[in-house]
């Protein structure tokens, strides 16, 4: 009788390991839907909806990993699924959105820039996945793909909100797309924010600044979000320049 119960318990454990955790993968699926929705809306000419969908995908992508860690439901399947979802949301979707908005009329220059962004996102994700065990958790190597997507989507969102002619802004769109793509595969270091302890007490001014940020986002979401991610994208260049200056002085 004891052997039978032991075999039954082992069989249940095998079934449990083969299963897929539902909760974190629901967030990943929702992010994937947002990325797909962004592509569909860009094809329909609704570029503001497409840009917003990419930002929604960013929020959902940030939640799935945290939910998995909090509920102890991490799995190899979830990690692979999240990476494939990221490629759609932050690789293919931004490239297609900006291509449909402004790069389409540029011929080879246009689709070339969109492809550069897309392949750089794929390379960035592949490098991230292969360096998980050796990378410094405090920093990302290269601009994270969600931040690069925010640069491209935020630019399209601002231009569309202000009804600016895509033909007049197409070279700016080209420059932003190529810059975001190449920065993803650079060796510049970007702070990961993973070491922030949310349980630690903070000064009152920090809470005030967070509240102020949400107010600004509610008033001018496109401008505030785009400006924030531009600052983050430039921080890697500034940090590398500062380190190089310190080394020369040393």
Give the pLDDT band (50/70/90) at residue 4.
very low
* Residue keyed to tokens 């797909």: 36
pTM of the model: 0.86
Q: H/E element holding 206?
A: helix 204-219
Sign (positive/negative) of CA torsion 112, 116, 118, 123? positive
Q: In terms of pLDDT, which residue wins out, 122 or 192? A: 122
Helix-then-strand count for the chain, H and E: 10, 2
DSSP, res 199 = T
Q: For the chain, list the domains and their CATH numbers.
A: 21-249 (1.20.120.1760)
**Mean pLDDT of the chain, nearest integer:** 88
Query: Which pLDDT tens digit goes with each residue over 207-232?
Result: 888 899 889 988 899 999 999 999 99
Largest CA distance in the chain: 79
Rounded CA separation 13/19 (Å): 10
- Whole-number pLDDT of residue 19: 60
The first and second tokens of residue 39, run together, are 């592509």
Asked if residue 2 has pLDDT above 60, the reply is no
b or e along 162-194 (b: 16 or more beta carbons within 10 Å of the residue's beta carbon)? eeeebeebbeebbebbbbbbebbbbebbbeeee
- Whole-number pLDDT of residue 33: 97
Give the pLDDT band (50/70/90) at residue 161.
very high
Rounded CA separation 98/157 (Å): 10
Pick the range with the lowest mean pLDDT from 86-100, 119-133, 147-161: 119-133
Q: Please answer whether residues 185 and 132 qualify as being in contact, where contact means their C-beta atoms are separated by less than 8 angstroms.
A: no
């Amino acid at each position: 009788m004891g052997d039978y119960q032991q075999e039954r318990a082992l069989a249940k454990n095998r079934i449990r390991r083969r299963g897929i955790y539902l909760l974190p993968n629901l967030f990943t699926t929702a992010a994937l839907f947002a990325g797909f929705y962004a592509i569909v809306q860009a094809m329909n000419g609704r570029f503001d909806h497409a840009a917003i969908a990419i930002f929604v995908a960013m929020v959902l992508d940030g939640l799935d990993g945290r939910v998995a860690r909090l509920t102890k439901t991490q799995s190899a399947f979830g990690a692979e699924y999240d990476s494939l979802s990221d490629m759609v949301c932050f690789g293919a979707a931004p490239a297609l959105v900006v291509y449909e908005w402004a790069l389409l009329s540029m011929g080879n220059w246009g689709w070339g820039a969109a492809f550069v962004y897309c392949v750089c996102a794929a390379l960035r994700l592949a490098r991230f996945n292969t360096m998980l065990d050796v990378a410094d958790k405090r920093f990302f190597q290269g601009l994270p793909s969600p931040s690069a997507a925010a640069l491209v989507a935020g630019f399209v969102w601002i231009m569309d909100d202000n009804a600016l002619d895509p033909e007049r802004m197409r070279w700016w769109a080209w420059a932003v797309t190529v810059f975001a793509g190449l920065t993803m595969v650079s060796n510049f270091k970007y702070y990961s924010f993973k070491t922030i302890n949310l349980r630690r007490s903070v000064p009152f001014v920090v809470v005030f600044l967070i509240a102020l940020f949400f107010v600004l986002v509610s008033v001018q979401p496109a401008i505030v979000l785009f400006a924030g991610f531009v600052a983050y994208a430039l921080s890697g260049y500034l940090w590398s320049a500062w380190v190089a200056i310190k080394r020369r002085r040393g």
